[in-house]
Chains A and B, each alone.
Chain A
Amino acid sequence: MNLNTFYLAVAGLILAPLVGGLVAGVDRVVTARLQSRMGPPLMQPFYDVGKLMSKVIAPASHWQGMFVRWALVASLASDVMLAAGADVLMCFFVQAASASFVALGAFCGNSPYSKLGAQRELFQLLAYEPVFMVGILCMAKAAGAFDAYSFMAAQGPLLFKMPLIVPGLLFVVLVKLRKSPFDIAASHHMHQEVVRGVYTDYAGRDFALLEIAHWADVTVVLWICSFLWATSPLTMVVTAGLFLFAALVIDNISARLTWRTMLGRVAPITLILATANLVWLYLE
């Protein structure tokens, strides 16, 4: 590892959660505007996390605190790996580990809502992970290698070689941003019991760390989506922005689906489309 890679990794470690927090702020402002409201300030997610950090509350279980920290480490590690140009597939696995830790932490809680949320989190993992993986395989096949820098150095936009993975990636973005219709384990905007399921027993500092892990996850997912048009940094930002905006619009115009629809219909359809694209790339 040379010094440049080290600097990039450190930048990824520090900037990725900040970008995720900013995305959450933009999300809340845009959503409020779509609902004819003014909405909170752009920095509101940072205030929320700062507030949660300073709260004094006993954790629901000691294991929970440990799982939250592991989730945070795994999420930040996936950001660092992407920034340092590591294997994108490995980064994807590390990110999946983070989501599993969140579910495991929720299983440690006492509340039935928390356990229900944890189960739903696992259903979500089952639904979006395969299609996300096939999407990354498509990108790797077209770019000729698995490392992030090769994805970014690919000749021309990857999008034209893999239009069929776009619905799958949008599905992943919706699930990871906890957006309707796939806000099944926990909703980003709603704050009542079952719809906030997996977060029920997390509180205070643990909840703040979990939020930071979530920001890091969002950055990873949008970053991977931006590889579809990685001809310049600007096009990457625009691509990620388009995915985010599409997710916000869908969130505001759709109602929540059940986990059965997600797992039984949406996941197979997006997976079949992405796999067809992968086969096409191999046959080409």
Chain B
Amino acid sequence: MFGSFLKTSQVKSPWLMHFDCGSCNGCDIETLACLTPVYDVERFGIINVGNPRHADVLVVTGTVNKRNAVILKNIYDQMPSPKLVIAIGACGCSGGVFREAPNVLGGVDKVIPVDVYVPGCPAKPEAIMDAVVTGLGKLKGILEAS
């Protein structure tokens, strides 16, 4: 019983860490909008944390470039397992309009494995919340299989 409670808890308590990896701030604003009373993601037990050691889900907005790739990898490595990564916006998914820039490596998946991609420029708060729920469904599948 205790084991199943622990598994349920992992799905019911996703703590997000938001990393702005070089976004134009459009996607950042939409991500933070999820915390406002209009969207209130805390309904799902979601909390926005500022510490990778406490985070379960890494939400990345913006493109990865040569300078911040190391930081992104570092944050990812500091997070405890099991963890999810969500790439937000066209930039996070593929590099978006900036993908041809000389300093840009591309989307988040060039550096760390991504579980859910959220398209849009900027991505809508509803889509971001949907991505977290989709990611948790994936996590649940992994936990049940283990």
Contacting residue for A39 out of B12, B42, B48, CB 8 A: B42
| Residue in B5, B7, B9, B50 whose beta carbon sits within 8 Å of that of A196 in the complex | B50
Q: Specify which of B8, B12, B48, B80 is in contact with A57 (CB 8 Å cutoff).
A: B80
**Residue A53 lies at the interface, judged by CB distance under 8 Å to chain B:** yes
**Contact indicator A38/B40 (Cβ below 8 Å):** yes
Chain B residues, CB < 8 A from A44? 12-13, 45
Contact flags (1/0) for A195-207 with B, using CB distance below 8 Å?
Answer: 0100111111001
Q: 1/0 contact trace for A43-66 toward B, CB 8 Å?
A: 010111111011111001000000
**Which secondary structure characterizes the binding site on chain A?**
loop
Q: Does A41 contact B (CB under 8 A)?
A: yes
B50 near A38: Cβ-Cβ < 8 Å: no
Q: Do A48 and B48 touch (CB < 8 A)? A: no
Q: Which of A32, A55, A57, A196 contacts B42 (CB 8 A)?
A: A32
Interface of chain A residues 5 through 56 with chain B (CB within 8 A): 28, 32, 35-41, 44, 46-51, 53-56
Q: Is the CB of A87 closer than 8 A to any CB of chain B? A: no
Also in contact, A51 and B13, with CB within 8 A (given A39-B42, A191-B48): yes
The answer to whether A193 and B51 touch (CB under 8 A), given A47-B9, A56-B81, is yes
- 4 shortest A-B CB distances, which residue pairs? A50-B9, A57-B80, A192-B50, A203-B53
B80 touches which one: A39, A40, A203 (CB < 8 A)? Answer: A203
Pair B54/A207 contact, Cβ less than 8 Å: yes
Does any Cβ of A come within 8 Å of B56's Cβ? yes
Give, as a whole number of angstroms, the nearest-CB distance from B1 to chain A: 12
Q: How many residues of A contact B (CB 8 A)?
A: 33
Taking A40-B42, A40-B43, A48-B13 as contacts, is the C-beta distance between A55 and B81 under 8 angstroms?
A: yes
Contact B8 A196 (CB under 8 A): no
Given A44-B13, A193-B50, CB of A55 within 8 Å of CB of B45 = no
How far does the Cβ of A74 sit from chain B's closest Cβ, in whole Å? 24
Q: Give Cα distance in the complex from A81 to B67, angstroms.
A: 56
**Are the C-beta atoms of B9 and A51 separated by less than 8 Å?**
yes
Chain A residue numbers with a CB within 8 Å of B15 are 48, 191
Q: Shortest Cβ distance from A105 into chain B, in angstroms? A: 14
For window 190-244 of A, CB contacts with B under 8 Å fall at 191-193, 196, 199-204, 207
Q: Which residue of B is nearest A41, CB measured? A: B45
Interchain CB contact under 8 A, A55 and B13: no
Chain B residues with Cβ below 8 Å from A199 are 51, 54
Q: How far is the CA of A37 from the CA of B13 in the complex (A)?
A: 18
Q: Is residue B10 contacting chain A, with contact meaning CB distance below 8 A?
A: yes
Q: Tell me whether B49 is interfacial, beta carbon within 8 Å.
A: yes
Interface centre among B7, B44, B53, B80 (most CB of A within 10 A): B53
Complexed CA–CA distance, A32 and B46 (Å):
13
> B80 and A196: CB pair below 8 A?
no
Interchain CA distance A47-B9 in the complex, whole Å: 4
- Residue pair B45, A47 in contact (C-beta under 8 Å): yes
CA distance A130 to B49 in the complex (A): 33
Write out, one digit per residue, whether chain B residues 35-73 have a CB within 8 A of any chain A CB (1) or not (0).
Answer: 001001011110111110110100000000000000000
At the interface, yes or no: B101 with Cβ under 8 Å from chain A? no
Query: A50, B51: Cβ atoms under 8 Å?
Result: no
Taken together as a complex, chains A and B put the C-alpha atoms of A199 and B42 apart, in Å, by 20
Residues of B within 8 A of A193 (CB): 50-51
Q: From B49, which residue of chain A is reached at the shortest CB distance?
A: A191
**Is B142 positioned at the interface, with any CB of A under 8 Å from its CB?**
no
Other-chain residue from A32, A53, A192 in contact with B40 (beta carbon distance below 8 A):
A32
In-complex Cβ contact of B53 among A35, A49, A54, A201 (8 A): A201
On chain B, the residues within 8 Å of A60 by CB distance are 53
B-contacting residues, A127-152, CB 8 Å: none
- Residues of A close to B47: CB separation below 8 A: 191
Q: Which residues of A contact B97 (CB under 8 A)?
A: none
